[in-house]
A and B are shown apart, each in its own frame.
Chain A
Amino acid sequence: MEIHSSDSNDRSVIETLVKENLSYFQYWTDVQLEDKALSWRGTDLRLVSGIPPNKLSNDDSEIQREYILPVNMTQHKEEFITLECLDLVFEKLCNKDTRRIILGIVNSDGTIVFYSIYNGIHKPKKN
């Protein structure tokens, strides 16, 4: 626990950054922090959710609520997010029919990049 004592602060910082980025830069609405938490290596992982201004994939029938997992770009060095962790996020923090979450990767320079992660093997979206 001692090693990760700073992580709980980190989480709330990057969660806020992702929420604000979505609301003010990407024009998402109803952005909120989900209640469900997953205890992972001494920290509680929570998803951020919100409604995007348009469909994220042409394969979607309509705009739907999207779920974002905020992570720090540097976290991979601390053996933080593993495949097991992603499986647990899909299992514990998502509904059964959730096929994708979005990874919000926070960089130290203030930029945030967003990547869709599909559970299992998936086809590329139609253009």
Chain B
Amino acid sequence: MGNSSLICIRLIVNDLNDDESTVCPMVFSVDDVLKLRKLGICGILSGTLPTATQQNIFLSIPLKLMVEETIWLVLHGYAKLDLIKGPMSRHFNSILESKSDQLWEISRKKLLQSFELQREYKKEQHELKLKQLGLEQSKNDVSATSSSNDNNKFIESSLFVETSNVSSILDYSVDEKREITKSSTSTDLLHYLITNYSTWNNYLLYQSLKEQSYVMLPGGRFGGLYIAYPGDPLRYHSHLTIDSALDYYNDPIDFISLTSGARLGTAVKKLWVIGGVKENKNHTMNETINVEDSGLHSLKLGTITTSFFSIEWAGFG
């Protein structure tokens, strides 16, 4: 797989060892969002449009990813991690100060180019229409030129200003702040994400469900860790609420959480699923993530055995 086709997952951090910064994996490219969707990874769109900040139904990029999704993507060779050093506001200010002329020039050129394309297209369409009506005009006709001047005015007033889907500033910020990326490999980042925001067993549950072609979304709304859909969330109802991974041999099943999770789940047509990793020979966090680093990421998943139980209210009592 070529490097260019890798999905770029960006992490904004002040300092990895700084307890205060919250690291959230985000995707800023619409093309990457499309690729992710095709891989069965939906994430959560979180960006509002600068021109319509009040609206919160149709959100845009960046797409926030769960830690487990990020790890799955990196370990399976679909994505690379990229660090951006924060805080972003200060950072963008400095870029704007130093590069504002350049950025303005680039965006002006883009705008003019898009106008030119629109003009050409509209003229073509207009001529085509005239031809169909049998009103083909000869170029030497004097009266025709004055009417085409009027046409041009109409065209000018109907041009669209296109809002770009991708930030042009972001590329600068990545170019300039490479130093963190060099010092910390993706191994460190994956370790950091999993130890701070999830557990390795949660990841293995995610992977196991993913192999059964479930699509996961964050499950906080239904009291679980994930909710799982049997396909794309826009086409299916979610069947399952998955609770955080239990230690197969030692963690007791909490009946209070089980009854509340399963009772709510039954009311919204979902089963409450508890699960744990029975056996993960050769699949400890360190081994798996380091294997990836040496470029031999062959996850032989046969050796991971997970055990799931689906629970619903029995309908009485």
Chain A residues close to B by CB (< 8 Å)? 21, 25-26, 56-57, 71, 73, 75-84, 86-87, 102-105, 111-125, 127
CA distance A38 to B317 in the complex (A): 26
CA distance A121 to B316 in the complex (A): 22
On whether A83 and B317 interact (CB within 8 A), knowing A73-B256, A115-B259, A121-B212, the answer reads: no
Interface string of B179-213 (1 = CB under 8 A from A): 00000000000000000000000000000010010
Instruction: Find chain A residues with CB under 8 A from B258 CB.
Output: 103, 115
Instruction: Find chain B residues with CB under 8 A from A78 CB.
Output: 252
Let me know if B44 is at the binding interface, CB within 8 A: no
Instruction: Find chain B residues with CB under 8 A from A122 CB.
Output: 271, 310
Instruction: Find chain B residues with CB under 8 A from A77 CB.
Output: 252
- In this complex, which of B254, B262, B314 has the most chain A Cβ atoms within 10 angstroms of its Cβ? B314
The answer to whether B307 touches A83, judged by C-beta atoms less than 8 angstroms apart, is yes
CA distance A78 to B48 in the complex (A): 48
The answer to whether B317 touches A75, judged by C-beta atoms less than 8 angstroms apart, is no
A-B contacts, 28 listed (Cβ < 8 Å): A25-B317, A56-B314, A73-B255, A73-B256, A75-B255, A76-B253, A79-B251, A80-B252, A81-B253, A82-B252, A83-B246, A83-B276, A86-B253, A102-B314, A115-B258, A115-B262, A115-B311, A115-B314, A116-B312, A117-B311, A118-B271, A119-B309, A120-B309, A121-B240, A122-B271, A123-B271, A124-B271, A124-B312
The answer to whether A105 touches B312, judged by C-beta atoms less than 8 angstroms apart, is no
On whether A79 and B312 interact (CB within 8 A), knowing A113-B259, A121-B273, the answer reads: no
Let me know if B283 is at the binding interface, CB within 8 A: no
Interface positions, chain B 44-92, Cβ under 8 Å from A, are: none
The distance from the CB of A58 to the nearest CB of chain B, in whole angstroms, is 10
Instruction: Find chain B residues with CB under 8 A from A117 CB.
Output: 309-311
Size of interface on B: residues with Cβ below 8 Å to A? 38
Q: A87, A115, A119: which contacts B313 (Cβ < 8 A)?
A: A115
Determine the residue in chain B with the shortest Cβ distance to A125. Answer: B312
The answer to whether A83 touches B314, judged by C-beta atoms less than 8 angstroms apart, is no
CA distance A78 to B252 in the complex (A): 8
The answer to whether A86 touches B309, judged by C-beta atoms less than 8 angstroms apart, is yes
Let me know if B239 is at the binding interface, CB within 8 A: yes
CA distance A119 to B248 in the complex (A): 14
Interface string of B149-188 (1 = CB under 8 A from A): 0000000000000000000000000000000000000000
Determine the residue in chain A with the shortest Cβ distance to B314. Answer: A114
The answer to whether B316 touches A82, judged by C-beta atoms less than 8 angstroms apart, is no
The answer to whether A116 touches B311, judged by C-beta atoms less than 8 angstroms apart, is yes
CA distance A71 to B271 in the complex (A): 20
Q: A84, A112, A124: which contacts B248 (Cβ < 8 A)?
A: A84
Determine the residue in chain A with the shortest Cβ distance to B266. Answer: A124
Instruction: Find chain B residues with CB under 8 A from A80 CB.
Output: 252
CA distance A124 to B317 in the complex (A): 19
The answer to whether A83 touches B309, judged by C-beta atoms less than 8 angstroms apart, is yes
On whether A121 and B259 interact (CB within 8 A), knowing A83-B274, A84-B248, the answer reads: no
CA distance A11 to B47 in the complex (A): 55
Determine the residue in chain A with the shortest Cβ distance to B276. Answer: A83
Let me know if B315 is at the binding interface, CB within 8 A: yes
The distance from the CB of B196 to the nearest CB of chain A, in whole angstroms, is 26
The answer to whether A114 touches B255, judged by C-beta atoms less than 8 angstroms apart, is no
Top 9 A-B pairs, shortest CB-CB distance: A114-B314, A114-B317, A122-B310, A118-B310, A76-B252, A79-B252, A83-B276, A116-B314, A83-B248
